[in-house]
């Protein structure tokens, strides 16, 4: 998969692409990342990428020219059918289902903005899919791009994560994980549950199912009752 990341801060991606499962995918040639600096596509002497909003107000707005210039240059650089993605707090929430869809593409172009936000004509003129990673405020799209890439790379056939996610699907079934223990059996007076040392695999499996279920009920009831998702309270109706 080819991934082009368009950003004002290309340097923040360095260690991300050389470490862990993402690093292995790059080394194995499964992932071809490229960072593109919007500033390379400015036309003025000062390499200015933003300006004050029409109509007034606080902050600055990222201008069209460097964004359209970068997207068009990247798309001219190879043949294929890229998915354009704009990371924005106003986007559709990133879920595992969205990640699975993105993993089918062989080319993603990720646009990272900053606190200031893009000129609206970036959306209307480039028509990107808009994605948010959750309801909290970041200072830019770069950490969101890393989250998205990490989740997608795990699913690429041949990546280490691909083998681990096959294991996830066999064991997890949409519940939170059961608690795990390893040696020593006792640590600072805290004991591993006796049942896990019993060698009785049927009772162990039943205990783990029950723990996973109880944890999910307490912490993430929305996973058990998707029809209630988004509601904070627990009363009926
Ligand atoms: C309230 C007006 N804007 C600030 C002038 C809102 C705003 C725009 C851009 C707030 C933060 C950002 C920067 N965030 C992202 O680019 C971002 C993000 C996020 O903040 N939360 C969750 N997902 C994402 S994806 C990109």
143 CB within 6 A, ligand 1: no
Give me the pLDDT at residue 171, please.
59
Can you read off the two tokens belonging to residue 114? 């900053």
222: left (phi over 0), alpha (psi -120 to 50) or beta: alpha
C-alpha R_g of the chain? 23
What are the contacts of 203-206 at 24+ separation with CB within 8 A?
A: none
pLDDT tens sequence for the chain (237 residues): 999 999 999 999 999 999 999 999 999 999 999 999 999 999 999 999 999 999 999 999 999 999 999 999 999 999 999 999 999 999 999 999 999 999 999 999 999 998 889 999 999 999 999 999 999 999 999 999 999 999 999 999 999 888 777 776 655 578 999 999 999 999 999 999 999 999 999 999 999 999 999 999 999 999 999 898 876 665 544
Ordered structural domains, the chain, with CATH: 2-153 (3.40.1280.10), 173-229 (1.10.1270.20)
Q: How far is the CA of 219 from the centre of ligand 1 (A)?
A: 27
133 CB within 6 A, ligand 1: yes
Probe ligand 1: pick from 5, 9, 112, 138, max atoms within 8 Å of CB? 138
Give me the pLDDT at residue 161, please.
81
User: Can you tell me the distance from the alpha carbon of 82 to that of 89, in angstroms, rounded to the nearest whole number?
Assistant: 22
Q: How far is the CA of 67 from the centre of ligand 1 (A)?
A: 17
């Amino acid at each position: 998969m080819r991934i082009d990341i368009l950003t004002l801060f290309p340097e923040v991606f360095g260690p991300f692409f050389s470490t862990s499962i993402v690093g292995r995918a790059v080394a194995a040639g499964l992932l071809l990342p490229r960072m593109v600096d919007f500033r390379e596509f400015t036309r003025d002497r000062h390499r200015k990428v933003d300006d004050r909003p029409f109509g007034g107000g606080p902050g600055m707005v990222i201008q069209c020219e460097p964004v359209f210039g970068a997207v068009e240059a990247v798309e001219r650089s190879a043949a294929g059918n890229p998915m354009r993605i704009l990371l924005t707090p106003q986007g559709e929430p990133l879920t595992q289902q969205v990640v699975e869809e993105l993993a089918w593409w062989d080319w993603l172009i990720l646009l990272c903005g900053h606190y200031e936000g893009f000129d609206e004509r970036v959306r209307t003129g480039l028509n990107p899919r808009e994605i948010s990673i959750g309801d909290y405020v970041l200072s830019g799209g770069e950490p969101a791009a890393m989250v998205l890439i990490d989740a997608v790379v795990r699913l690429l056939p041949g990546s280490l994560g691909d083998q681990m996610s096959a294991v996830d699907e066999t064991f997890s079934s949409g519940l939170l994980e059961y608690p795990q223990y390893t040696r020593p059996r006792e640590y600072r007076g805290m004991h591993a549950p006796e049942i896990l040392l019993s060698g009785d695999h049927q009772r162990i499996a039943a205990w783990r199912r029950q723990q996973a279920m109880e944890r999910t009920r307490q912490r993430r009831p929305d996973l058990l009752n998707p029809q209630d998702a988004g509601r904070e309270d627990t009363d009926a109706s």
